[in-house]
Amino acid sequence: MSLVLLGVDFRQAALDLRVALSYDAPAARALLARAREVEGLREAAILSTCNRTEFYLVVDHQDAAARWLQLLRRDRPTARATDPACLLTRHVDAAAAGHLFAVAAGLDSAILGDAHVNGQVKRAYDQAREAGTLGPVLHRAFQQAFAVAKRVRRETALGRGHVSIGGCVAHQLAYAAPLARRVSIIGTGAVATDVARHLAKRGIYDLTIVSKDRGRATELATHVGGRGAVVPQLEDWLADADVVIGATGTSVPVLTSAMLALAGSASSARQGHRPSRLVVCDLGVPRNVDADIEARVFTIDDIRARQDAALTARESAVPAARRLVDAAVEGWTAWHRERALVPAIVGLYARERARREEMAARLWGRAGRAQVHLDARLRRAGRQLLHRQVVALRAKAAGYPGTPGGPAARVTVQG
């Protein structure tokens, strides 16, 4: 049996192609339920995220992988990734396991060291287990992936620091405005959403989402436990805000000096006004905030400098993380090779037992009461002989290129 990986990811497939081949939880369960239709397929798991869709298969022979592609074409007839003219990346045995380990560890993610990917790998494992398509080979591969991901995060700097804009903003505010609690976020796009989610995770901020579209503001606010507001209400919220974050694509500033001056006057007139000078984080390009406002301002360049520092630290940890992954691949390969020997070893012991019982049957008539001792001696002698054969068999398998888990090439297949 071989472990085979087929799939597409962000490096080789455009977004529309990945979307066409993506599988949410219900769709993945439905496809796994049809795995029994594929002759020669023993185990299957589906890892589907916004950046990749990968099918981990355990097959008796390579024809089963081609049959799986046929099943995909029936399931997603319009997905170009399953078209015969589209090449899918293929990894086999050790290369497939190594790819899974690297993905779980964050070495193959769009954001280097992304910890969320390991959670997505765990969901793929759980889906396969619930669908009944998880067997000993995939179980071992996924469990080893989780173990190496844990070691990478514990023993290297690959996952340290913040490299997403939202994570960097949250870290910047924790350092620059530790007493801030009331935060207004202007915008509902990808950047604003990322910032809102990271701030919500901290659990200490009172979030207000401001947008031209009340529906979008309310929708995002609901997801992060805040409140929604529209742009005309911005001046009212500014009076109470400790932090204002601009994250819109507008071509003109949405936060002006005049607005802040009015908000500052209103804030001073209220009991319990902000404890310190307003902090503004301007993530817009062009800028969302007037350059001459009276506030402590951080721009997208400040955030990107923090991103770059964290990314540099993570990149320096890649060699150490790769060594951990490589060591895990060696361990998995040794296990996979030895597992392939199980039928041969079982057969050796079965034949030894048959010969021993045949010999004992001929001798028992003359042995009388000594038959028990004779049987024990025959069993011991047989096991000693087989031990040498089994050791030799395992040694041969460890260096035999044709065994499962041997040097596995990274190739492409045409479906």
- What residues act catalytically? 50
Phi, psi of 2 (to 5 degrees): -125, 150
Cα gap 202→284, rounded to integer Å: 23
Q: How many CB atoms lie within 10 A of CB 164?
A: 19
Query: Cβ distance 17 to 37 under 8 Å?
Result: no
Nearest Cα residue to 288 out of 234, 347, 236, 341: 234
Q: Which residues, other chains included, contact 223 with Cβ-Cβ below 8 Å and sequence gap of 6+?
A: 196, 197
Quickly tell me which residue has 């200490």 as its tokens: 204
Token reading at 272: 């319990």
Reported residue count of the chain is 415
Strand-pair partners of 57: 4, 44
Token reading at 53: 């869709």
Token reading at 165: 């804009």
Strand-pair partners of 198: none
Phi, psi of 293 (to 5 degrees): -70, 155
Quickly tell me which residue has 């951990």 as its tokens: 324
Quickly tell me which residue has 């009991």 as its tokens: 271
Cα gap 166→157, rounded to integer Å: 20
